[in-house]
Amino acid sequence: MTTTASNGLLLVLSGPSGVGKTSIVHELLRRFDGFFSVSATTRQAGAGEIDGHDYSFISGPAFQKLIDGDCFLEYAQVFGRSWYGSPRQPVEQALGKGQLVILDIDVQGAEQVRARHPQAYAVFVLPPSEDELLKRLRQRGREDEEAIQRRFAQSTQEIARARGGTTFDVFVTNDDLARTTDSICALVAARLGSPGSR
């Protein structure tokens, strides 16, 4: 059974790579009448990634043109290389239709979204421990050890930044994916059913 938002809800889901956000997003979309914001990026598509589904892969000049046109809710350069951004128009259209809108973005993006949309509901997903996070990054098998260590270092910085700020409404530790997903779905359902919470 799916649930529909009457006035829309902007859900910001953040957390380090390997913490389970993608699985949580898929379940949220299954349970709610949701819209997932596909980020634009200047990086090359990875193996098996589909343009327009996983990301919208665009050139650097095209990305800059979107920045200049105020077309992003948030954008940032990640690892000092590629740019990522959440297109504003499809998000605002989905909110206008009363949908749950999900953004899977990093902490600096979440901070930008909260500045533009203070009513957004922001959830940060934590790993059970740093050791478990490192293990999960290695198990993904997507990167060499140097890239994994770089991603791990950034992840620990991002966790510290999230904990030290006021951007996030709730922190959820993913020590069991099914239980964590149920918990986040319950939080969203409560938020959707709460007048004045949007």
Interval 134-163 mean pLDDT:
89
120 pLDDT higher than 90 = yes
**Percent of the chain's residues with pLDDT above 90:** 74
Q: How far apart are CA 94 and CA 109, in angstroms?
A: 19
Q: What are residue 183's phi and psi, to 5 degrees? A: -65, -45
Q: What SS3 class is residue 149? A: helix
| Nearest residue to 78 via CA among 158, 162, 133 | 158
Q: Mean per-residue pLDDT for 15-43?
A: 93
Instruction: Specify the pTM.
Output: 0.88
> Could you give all domains of the chain from N- to C-terminal order, each with its CATH number?
9-192 (3.40.50.300)
Residue 169 DSSP code: S
For the stretch 93-107, pLDDT in tens is: 999 999 999 999 999
Q: If pLDDT is split at 50, 70 and 90, which confidence band does 198 have? A: very low
Model pLDDT, residue 83: 96
